[in-house]
Structure formats: C-alpha cells, structure tokens
Amino acid sequence: MTVSHTSVFTPMAAGLPPNVTEDMVTDTILPDLADDRVATLTGKDEPELAAIVAAAGERNIPLSIVVVPGNPGHDSNLRDLATEVGKTQHGTVLVLSDDWVGTYSDSISRVRLEWAEDVSKSTQGHSAVAAQRFLDKVEQPEAVSWTTIASVLVVGTVAAVGGLYWVKVRRAKREAADGVRVGADVRS
C-alpha cells in the first residue's frame, strides 16, 4: 500500500460562509448592493452602513459592505465572499460577521486591508461600528514607510559590502607589500 501526501499540499478551495450560498450571492447580495452598495443579511444597521459608504465615496474610496449573520467556521470564508462579490463590485468590499471581517480590494493593498481589518474585529455584531473603524483605518496614513525602510536596508547592505571590499583590498595590498619585503630580506 502506498501513501500519497499530495492531499496534504493541495490548497483548500475557496468557500463561502456556511450560511451563504452562491445563489444567495447572485439572487440577494448583488441586487441588494445595486442601490446603496450595502447588503445586510441580518436586517440591521442598513441606514448607518449606507451613510458610511456615502462618506467613503466622498473620500474617493468606492466601498461596498456585506453583513452576514453569525460567524463562519473560518474567517477566511468572509474574504472568499468579499472576493466573490468583488468580481462584480469594483473598489473595496468589506464583509462583516458578528466578530470577524473579510475584505477584497482592487485598489488597496492586502497589507493595508488587513491592518484595517484588525481594528474592525470583535465588535459584537455592531456592523456600523466595525465599518467606521475599517474606513478610518484605511484612510489613516501608515506610521511606517516601508519604502523608506527598504531603501535604508538596501543602502546599508551596499555600504557594508563596499566597506568589506575596501578592507580586503587594503589587506591584500599590505600582505603583498609585506611579502615583497620578506622576499628582499631573504635574498640579502
């Protein structure tokens, strides 16, 4: 009997939250997003969420918000739903459950999205609070410029390599000069 390990390394298929079907996406969520870019399967907070979406639009962030009831088995299901919705809704898609957040964006980096997700989690089902926290964090400038950090590291590496090269050249010249003197002393 041979054992196959290929199933261990096979990536899991994207999955929607257990309480959301593909039919619900096409028949309920996408049509609901058409009017105000908000689809809430919980029936709560729609006016507040619509106001947050409108405020995001005024700040040139095309935001769509989907709220699902409960929490899925895996928080990655919310990102999968956001990605599915993002296929037709351009911009940024925020999917909220009671305590988790999933996002997709065609204009905001994954790092920035996850940075904003962190402050939006664990709001005990208060989707308007979570959405506002997300929007505020997405708009906030990063405290650390990764471009600057990467540039400093590259310059530091180049300086270190150049310094080591300079030391090796000086040592080689000194050893060559010492070798010439030693050879002259032996002949005398």
Residues 167 and 118 occupy one common structural domain? no
| pLDDT for the residue numbered 52 | 93
User: The domain containing residue 170 runs over which residues?
Assistant: 144-188
> How far from each other are the two terminal CA atoms of the chain, in whole angstroms?
81
| pLDDT for the residue numbered 182 | 56
Of the candidates 61, 124, 134, 60, which has an alpha carbon nearest to the alpha carbon of residue 95? 134
170 or 23: which leads in pLDDT: 170
CA distance 131 to 109: 18
Residues 135 and 151 occupy one common structural domain? no
Would you say residue 132 lies in a domain?
A: yes
Residues 81 and 149 occupy one common structural domain? no
Residues 18 and 111 occupy one common structural domain? yes
Contact between residue 135 and residue 112 where contact means Cβ atoms under 8 Å apart: no
CATH number at residue 58: 3.10.310.50
Residues 186 and 101 occupy one common structural domain? no
Of the candidates 81, 177, 94, 178, which has an alpha carbon nearest to the alpha carbon of residue 128? 94
19 or 169: which leads in pLDDT: 169
Mean pLDDT of the chain: 82
Would you say residue 123 lies in a domain?
A: yes
Would you say residue 1 lies in a domain?
A: no
User: What DSSP assignment string belongs to 1-18?
Assistant: -----HHHHSPPPP---T
- Quick: pLDDT tens for 46-67: 889 999 999 999 999 999 999 9
The answer to whether residue 3 scores a pLDDT higher than 70 is no
CA angle 4, 9, 15 (to 5 degrees): 120
b (16+ CB within 10 A) / e for 130-155 = bbbbbbebbeeeeeeeeeeeeeeeee
Residues 126 and 181 occupy one common structural domain? no
Residues 55 and 148 occupy one common structural domain? no
Residues 130 and 41 occupy one common structural domain? yes
How many C-beta neighbours within 10 Å does residue 65 have? 30
Residues 55 and 91 occupy one common structural domain? yes
Number of domains into which the chain is organized: 2
Tokens of 122: 């664990």
Note the helical H segments in 87-140. Answer: 110-120, 127-139
Residues 95 and 125 occupy one common structural domain? yes
Residues 107 and 57 occupy one common structural domain? yes
| pLDDT for the residue numbered 142 | 67
Residues 86 and 125 occupy one common structural domain? yes
